[in-house]
Amino acid sequence: MIELRRTRAARRTAGDGAGPRWIPGFALLSLVWGASFALIKIAVDAGVAPMWVALWRCFFGAVALGAVCAVQRPAQPRDRATWAHALVVALLFNAVPFALFSYGETRVSSVLAGVWNATTPLTTLVFVLALMPGERPTVRRVLGLLTGFGGVLVVLGVWHGLRGGTISGDLACLGATTCYGAAFAYTRRYFSGRGDAAPALALTQVLCATVELALVTPLLAGPPSWPGVRAGVALVVLGAAGTGLAYIINLSVIRAAGTTVAASVTYVTPVWSTLLGAWLLGEPPGWNTLVGGALVLAGVVVSR
């Protein structure tokens, strides 16, 4: 019994010492992903078409991940099944939601887009319950989903009715998080468990997204144009940091603190998107955005 207590005490001590190692990475990841909404807004306000914002984001993300892989030299996936799953993951995780968020921010503020992003765990839960045979809809999860759905209605301000052009932006952002939910469930079931190194899988995914967008963007949005230095820098940072560096940081947090802690970064990103949107872009949030966002986060916490 004494030895068992000593072992437990040693584990607690080791855990306490290991805790601070992942906290800086977690904070940086929340900042990078929270800032992405302000960067998207800068680009679309400069006249960059939403499809081109998505394509440049994936392109610069692939460049950053390619540099990491060039240094670490992990074995790249070669089997057809991995690449086939990567095409689906890239479509759901990158190509479609990046374009939808970019379009959404032509209609709504970056603050509101960041709040919509907080619904991702709720949409993920819906797809996990639908696609994972081992998952069960408990009372707690249903209550969390209903609370989060109530938060969505508050953010939308349904008592005002449909608000013209902004409703299309809201629905685009909600469509993007729905894609994220499907992507997380699909990735968990078919992609993340494969034996390839995480940087190699990430590069494969983002390369597929870049190719997918490159095939359709010129047809839908015409040729690219130079948006100016400020928007150009925003696009480079959005891709290299928000789609490239973020994958590496996220992996380190998962390894140090586990997937549950890493996934909870979604709770913090709306704080950064709100602060940066108000500070950099002059986008003060309305009361219903703050209250609805709090309900969404409460729903996420209850459901998890």
User: HEC profile for 33-76?
Assistant: HHHHHHHHHHHHHCCCCHHHHHHHHHHHHHHHHHHHHHHHCCCC
> Average of pLDDT values for 30-52?
93
Judged against a pLDDT cut of 70, whether residue 2 lies above it is answered with: no
3 lies in some domain: no
11 lies in some domain: no
* CA-to-CA separations, 77 to 61, 83, 191, 196, in angstroms, rounded: 18, 7, 12, 7
209 lies in some domain: yes
15 lies in some domain: no
Which residues constitute the domain of residue 211? 23-303
Sign of CA dihedral 257, 263, 264, 269: positive
Pick the more confident residue, 190 or 210.
210
Please state the pTM of the whole predicted model. 0.80
237 lies in some domain: yes
Indicate the range of 125-129, 234-238, 244-248 predicted with least confidence. Answer: 125-129
Q: How far apart are CA 151 and CA 153, in angstroms?
A: 5
> Average of pLDDT values for 227-256?
86
Which of 210, 186, 180, 196 is closest to 128 using CA atoms? 186
17 lies in some domain: no
Q: How far apart are CA 164 and CA 30, in angstroms?
A: 32
The 10 Å Cβ neighbour count of residue 180 is 24
The 10 Å Cβ neighbour count of residue 282 is 8
> Average of pLDDT values for 163-171?
77
pLDDT of amino acid 83:
92
How confident is the prediction for the chain on average, in pLDDT?
80
> Average of pLDDT values for 215-238?
95
pLDDT of amino acid 300:
67
148 lies in some domain: yes
133 lies in some domain: yes
Domain tally, the chain: 1
